[in-house]
Chains A and B, each alone.
Chain A
Amino acid sequence: MKKTKTLLFAVAVAFLALACVFTVGAGGQKDKAAPESEAAGGMVEGGELVYGTWQSPDNLDVQVTGLQITTNVGTQVFDPLLRKMPGESELKPGLAERWEVNADSTEFTFYLRKDVTFHDGTPFNAQAVKFSLDRLADPATRSVAARGALGPYKSSQVVDDYTVKVSFSQPFAGFLNMCTCVLVNILSPTAVQKWGDQYQFHITGTGPFMLKEYVPDDHVTLVRNPDYAWGPDWMHGGPAYLDTITYKVIPEDLTRVSTLKTGETDLIDNVRSHDIAEIKKNPNLKVAITGVPGAPWILLLNYQKAPTNDLAVRRAIEYAIDRDAMVNLLYQGTNEPAYSPLEKGTLGYSPEIDEIYSYDLARAKKILDDAGWKVGSDGVRQKGGQRLKLIWVIWSGGAMEEPAAVVQDQLREIGMDVVIETYDVGTAFGKWNTGDLNIAMPFYVWPDPMFLQNWYGSQYIGATNWAHVNNPELDRLLANAEKSTDPAVRADAYKKVQKWLMDNAICVPLFGKSLALAMEKNIEGLSYEVIGYPVFYGVHYTK
């Protein structure tokens, strides 16, 4: 009896101690701001949207980083110079009402809106555009991905208060398309000067939402810009509907999905295909999937390193991969098989390119047989004492392991020994850049086909030319493609580039990218900007 009492005493003391620990800092579940008023058609104005995102911003300054989450936040806080509906080629006015381009695509003149102000009250004008572009190009900004949007930028010239001329040192026809995304980021000069190196905590644009708070690795809170009156003319005009958007960083997939189900979040991103079916069964939730321009997930075959320096080997790979089987196995309902270097919805994409290769195992084997690659005793082909062994470098956490395993299995069918080497991102990039491998597997999100220059131009070997292709004919085709801003001329030029790439089997497109969001069923009005980032300007709850 005594013993039992002692024990109870010990346990009681222990739990008291625990209780003390847990009263440190009071927390509670999210107190959602109730929507303010109800308008016609069951639409509710106001309210808070809590967005659970997989990625944590490394920096909230859109000009500094290229991270998806920062561009996503930037899409709500900033307005682009020009606008474009996803998948369409026609350019529409944004912050610029009109624009002109000189004959060789090196000078772009923008005539700006006169009724726009930044969130801090600074007037939007030609000076602000010049300041923004100069800052993006300035090495001191240490801009990484966003700087790519400015290409061979030379300078900007203020013609008058609302006219600005942007000059490039080489033809840069893709610039107009780049102006449709917020990477060409027009920010308040006053805010940058005021906050200095703290600017990322005070990003200031002209968009429908304003930054209220950024707590690194935890959350970003945006509030409605009440003065917003310059939204795209195909949308509702006036300020946004939602009061606030809170981006909450939730890196783990399972946790993110759980928070959507418990109501801790209202919308989540990066939803994996195996979760989609489950979410679709939930009567309170829905899924939105959208395609993204740029390059699909694609294999880049090293043009210089054996055995992929052999055209026969590269062509055999093109025929040996069964994309339908792969997509059915891994990405049912989210991603589609891809057959072109450019993704659908990107200028220059052509169904004709899709037709160049199709799955044909017998043909793949015949190509290798004809080229002298004979099957050895271990099932792997050999030629002149060399085994048909391919090194494929991927990084962990990059969603590459599963498709790599499928391709590895499929290529074994034709006697190829694919060795998958997994590293961290930095190490993998190092190997991609030095070319110490046969296969790299990138994808790319970009509103314009101009990135093909960087992927396949010989001057980019050691940087982004991961196929390590150096061919004068290809270089000539690429240079031709940036000379005219006429979409039809450019589309045709980039079609020729793609045809060359496929004929020479430099790349093996695998499957398209997609952006999968899951959200509460009563969220309506979601649209997307040109590279697939969600636009919350028109989003509202319904009754």
Chain B
Amino acid sequence: MIRYIAKRLILSIPTLLGVIVAAFLVIHLVPGDPVEVMMFGANPTPEQMAQLREQLGLDRPLHVQFVDYLGGVVRGDLGESIQRHRAVALEIGDNIGPTLMLTLAGMSIAIVVGFALGLTAALRPNSWVDNLSMGVANLGVAVPAFWLGILLILLFALTLGWLPATGQGGGRRLILPAVSLGLGYSAIIARLVRSSLVQVLGQEYILTARSKGLVERIVLFRHALKNALIPVITMVGLQFGNMMASAVVIEVLFARVGMGRLLVTSILQRDYPLIQGTILVFGIVYILSNLIIDLLYSVVDPRIRYT
């Protein structure tokens, strides 16, 4: 198991390298640079702009800048934010926690609501309960998180006054952002739980379990659901990274600090080291969440063993 994890981590290095190269190329190949954004309003002379470029090392050939950056990353140094004059690692450290909290809360909602709807539908396939649950799920897939967030603010903060419209941290301030983020994903999970479970419930071993006289709860949770989980876990794992990326709009809407907002502002300000650092962290999260999902397979399905 440990060998497997180590192997996977080593194999992820080329992927991360790809992420670094792609991010570096994309931000450097579009016209304009941080100096132009920084100097807006400063009435600089072209000489002053050149001086700042030199100071920031932006006048060096692209490959030199890249090798320099890569060297830093290998040493664990992500550089300093151009605008904020702070270490990129510090900025990420300040922002990753709130985003993980939001993503985990959103994911919990997605899983809970998704399973509730999916189970309800699967237990009575083709009944009105099924149709209603799947109708709700389809609606959930179709509604953008941003728009849902606006509606939730209008209803729960403005009209009813039950919850704050903005805020950091957990507790009541987390509810509206997490629901906005999670509801759409719950719909995806619900549909998958339903189809997977309906399929498993039709298998002969379920009939065997029932004919042995097992209580329905055990049939459902121990025999059926466990086997129906594999595709759902895959989906949840894939969605975790996506959800963290969706946090961008949710963080802006609800005025929460986090990686998403950090990425948006760093892109707008052309803060190269900050953009690269943030994208690298998103890449790492994708890789790690995929690894965790693969490991979970072996927990759910004893036939899968990693050596």
List residues of A whose CB falls within 8 A of some B CB: 2-3, 5-7, 9-11, 14-15, 17-18, 21-30, 56, 58-59, 61, 64-66, 139, 142-148, 197, 200, 215-218, 248-252, 254-256, 258-259, 261-262, 264, 397, 423-431, 433-434, 444-445, 451, 453-454, 459-464
Contact = CB atoms under 8 A, between A and B. Distances in A.
Given A255-B153, A255-B253, A463-B49, A428 B41 contact: no
Given A27-B172, A425-B37, A3 B85 contact: no
Contacts of B32: 423-431
Contact of A444 (B36, B41, B46, B108): B41
27 contacts: A2-B216, A2-B217, A17-B108, A21-B104, A21-B170, A22-B178, A24-B174, A25-B101, A25-B174, A27-B168, A28-B172, A142-B52, A142-B55, A144-B52, A148-B44, A200-B85, A216-B94, A216-B257, A248-B255, A251-B252, A258-B165, A259-B164, A424-B32, A429-B40, A430-B31, A430-B33, A463-B48
B175 A258 contact: no
A16 to B, nearest CB: 10
Given A25-B171, A264-B166, A429-B32, A251 B255 contact: yes
Contacts of A426: 30, 32-34, 36-37, 268-270
A258 B157 contact: yes
Q: Which 9 A-B pairs have the closest CB atoms?
A: A430-B32, A25-B170, A27-B171, A454-B43, A426-B32, A429-B36, A14-B112, A430-B31, A145-B41
Interface in B79-127: 83-86, 91, 94-95, 101, 104-105, 108-109, 111-113, 115-116, 119-120, 123
B247 to A, nearest CB: 14
A90 B158 CA distance: 46
Given A7-B120, A216-B84, A258-B165, A23 B37 contact: no
B166 A248 contact: yes
Q: Which of A6, A252, A454, A462 has the most CB of B within 10 A?
A: A252
B165 A255 contact: yes
Given A7-B119, A397-B268, A429-B36, A218 B30 contact: no
Given A258-B154, A397-B268, A59 B116 contact: no
A58 B251 CA distance: 17
B40 A145 contact: yes
Interface in B36-82: 36-46, 48-49, 51-52, 55
Contacts of A64: 85
A264 B163 CA distance: 11
Given A262-B158, A428-B32, 14 more contacts: A2-B215, A3-B216, A7-B120, A10-B116, A10-B119, A22-B174, A23-B170, A25-B169, A56-B265, A144-B42, A251-B252, A397-B268, A425-B270, A426-B269
A466 B281 CA distance: 38
B262 interface: yes
A30 to B, nearest CB: 8
A218 B175 CA distance: 18
Nearest to B52: A142
Given A27-B174, A142-B55, A216-B94, A9 B217 contact: yes
Interface string B177-203: 010000000000000000000000000
A7 B175 contact: no
B41 A427 contact: no
A444 B45 CA distance: 17
Contacts of B265: 56, 58, 217
A451 B171 contact: no
A6 B221 CA distance: 9
Given A2-B217, A15-B112, A142-B85, A425 B268 contact: yes
Contacts of B252: 251-252
B83 A262 contact: no
Contacts of A30: 164
Contacts of B55: 139, 142
Contact of A66 (B41, B170, B215): B41
B158 A66 contact: no
A433 B36 contact: yes
Nearest to B146: A252
A29 B165 CA distance: 10
Contact of B257 (A218, A425, A462): A218
Q: Which of A27, A147, A445, A460 has the most CB of B within 10 A?
A: A27
A12 to B, nearest CB: 10
Contact of B39 (A144, A200, A424, A428): A144
Given A250-B166, A430-B33, A58 B150 contact: no
B167 interface: yes
B24 interface: no
